[in-house]
Amino acid sequence: MTDWKDLTAPDAGRIETMARDAVAALPPEFAGHAQSIAIRVAEFAPEEVLDELQIDDPFELTGIYDGIPLTEKSVLDQPGQPDIIWLYRRPLLDEWASRGSVTLGELVAHVVTHEMAHHFGWSDDDIARIDRWWE
């Protein structure tokens, strides 16, 4: 029998490791561009991000791409902050527990891949046409 009182939820560092593993597993044609994207893990999305996306429940956002997609970048752009994939630990854990049919690593990899698609210029509609994960 599992002694649940001695178990703890994966911390931000463990989720970041899962995300980096997902990036390392990308096909070679994407891996080079993916290496330049920073990965950050926070407990929840900041209130201003939720407001901008018109999301009332912070548990609804598991991750977001923050940057300029490759299809919109120009050699004339001044370097600013790096492109970042933000992962939100508590919503990820909540979705993982509610799904019950995927590992946390699979869920993190899926969110990272989804956000990476935005880096490559795909819209949510583009992604939804080939990815039925969220249905």
In the chain the domains, ranked by start, together with CATH numbers, are: 9-68+80-130 (3.30.2010.20)
Contacts of 114 (CB under 8 A, 6+ apart): 63, 127, 131, 133
* C-alpha–C-alpha distance, residues 106 and 18, integer Å: 9
Whether 47 and 31 have beta carbons less than 8 Å apart is answered as no
Name the residue with higher pLDDT: 75 or 27. Answer: 27
Report pLDDT for 11: 93
Whether 94 and 59 have beta carbons less than 8 Å apart is answered as yes
Q: Is 63 strand, coil or helix?
A: strand
Q: What is the pLDDT of residues 5-46, one digit of tens each?
A: 777 889 999 999 999 998 888 888 777 778 888 999 999 999
Apex 23 CA angle, 63 and 38, nearest 5? 60
Q: What is the pTM of this model?
A: 0.85
Q: What is the pLDDT of residues 77-121, one digit of tens each?
A: 666 778 999 999 999 999 999 988 889 999 999 999 888 888 877
* C-alpha–C-alpha distance, residues 47 and 27, integer Å: 34
